Amino acid sequence: MRIKTFIISSFVVIVLYAFTNITTHQSKSIFKPPSNFPEPVYNFEQNPVTKAGFELGRYLFYDTRLSGNYKISCGFCHIQSDAFTQHGHIVSHGINNRTGIRNAPPVMNLAWATSFMLDGRAATLDEQPLIPITDHVEMDCSIDTIIERLQPDKVYRSMFKKAFGSSIITEQNILKALSQFMLLCISANSKYDKVMRNEGETFTADEAAGYEVFKRTCNGCHKEPLFTDYSFRSNGFNIVSAEDKGAFNITQDSADIYKFKVPSLRNLVYTAPYMHNGQLYQFKSIIPQYRFYVENNPNLDTLLVHEGKRGFDMTDKEAEQLEAFLQTLNDSSFVNNPALSEPDIQYKADIF
């Protein structure tokens, strides 16, 4: 009887110890928000960012086995050197060179985002990857197919066990790992950030003057320090695709026609082309667009209309100063961070 009791007690202790180890491992979050940023909105209690989870997410982000034809990864449309956008295309190109209708937004500072995709169709970061993975134009695959491909891989089984305590690959853990990688794609080391954190940098006279112009004009939508308020607005840009009506495609509310999520102004030097449909090719085209070419529509944002005139009123000198300030938002360390770059994945697209 004592032996039986001892065995049962020992088993309970072992189970509790193992559970405690897994829980403790998963809860050691390595996410550290920049000191000049607000509190993130992502629910880290449900998915704390661990070193193992982040590294697993990095492998998944760059793995072409997440696409139907083994050739497209998340990193195909979100290229690090372009601040995780897709340079060279007006709109994104996906599997078999199929063409989308929108410009790929950057993967950047997503812990503070309140919704995802340019029309807000994804409510949480954890569910967002399902949209491109299953989309016919983008990756044209399924989670079940991905699991079938990855489960036999002993490296992935080991990585999933280290990150989540089980070598069984599941949809939930794939999405959590992808989130952990994207949550650490933080851009907060620009000249602007260093000035705000008193790290020895100072604005030039033109940059400081441009900052004042920014606060008078752009800051209504592009709130500091993330330089977006994550709202959906119509910016009066010319309509290229009648089928893409922005948030209206999701809400079916006429008040949302041609409203798109406000993008961040960070890293503009890396993220051309610009606008949701990629119709502005050069950085120097952005400010003139908002000075001279704002078009009217029933949902045009009121912040773009001043005394009955559309667009922002500023002098050429102020426009140059504003441009100088926007250049301070570029973060070269973000686009060159080796921790965010493609790992040495065993399976490459060209072998299929």
Distance of CA 77 to the CA centre of its chain: 12
Hey, CA dihedral for 78, 84, 90, 91, is it positive or negative? positive
pTM for this predicted structure: 0.89
Gap between the Cα atoms of 103 and 119, Å rounded: 12
Report how far residue 204's alpha carbon sits from residue 119's, in angstroms, rounded to the nearest whole number.
Answer: 37
Confirm whether residue 141 is marked as ligand binding: no
Query: In this model, does residue 207 exceed pLDDT 70?
Result: yes
Give residue 89's pLDDT: 79
For residues 124 and 101, the answer to whether their CB atoms sit within 8 Å is no
| Helix locations, 124-279, DSSP H | 130-134, 143-150, 154-164, 171-183, 191-196, 205-216, 248-251
87 labelled binding-site residue = no
CA distances from 150 to 115, 153, 342 (A): 29, 5, 18
**3.40.50.970, 1.10.760.10, 2.60.120.560, 3.20.20.70: which CATH number matches 36-186?**
1.10.760.10
pLDDT tens column, 17-50: 333 333 434 557 899 999 999 999 999 999 999 9
Contact 72, 83 (CB under 8 A): no
- pLDDT, position 92: 85
Residue 273 is predicted with a pLDDT of: 92
Confidence class for position 240, pLDDT limits 50, 70, 90: low
Percent of the chain with pLDDT over 70: 89
Mean pLDDT (the chain) is 90
**pLDDT of 243:** 80
Q: How far apart are CA 77 and CA 137, in angstroms?
A: 12
What is the C-alpha separation between 124 and 111, in angstroms, rounded? 10
324-334: average pLDDT: 98
In the chain, residues under CATH classification 1.10.760.10 are: 36-186, 191-332
The CATH homologous superfamily for domain 191-332 is Cytochrome c-like domain (1.10.760.10)
Three-state secondary structure call for residue 192: helix
222 labeled binding residue: yes
166 token code pair: 């089980």
Look at residue 271 and give its three-state secondary structure. Answer: coil
Q: Is 74 annotated as a binding residue?
A: yes
Express as a percent the part of the chain with pLDDT over 90. 80
**pLDDT above 60 for 292:** yes
- Short-list 95, 85, 92, CA closest to 64: 95
Short-list 90, 91, 92, CA closest to 76: 92
Q: pLDDT band for position 253 (50/70/90)?
A: very high
Angle at 297 between CA 291 and CA 302, to 5 degrees: 60
Helix 51-61 vs helix 154-164: angle between axes, to the nearest 10 degrees?
140
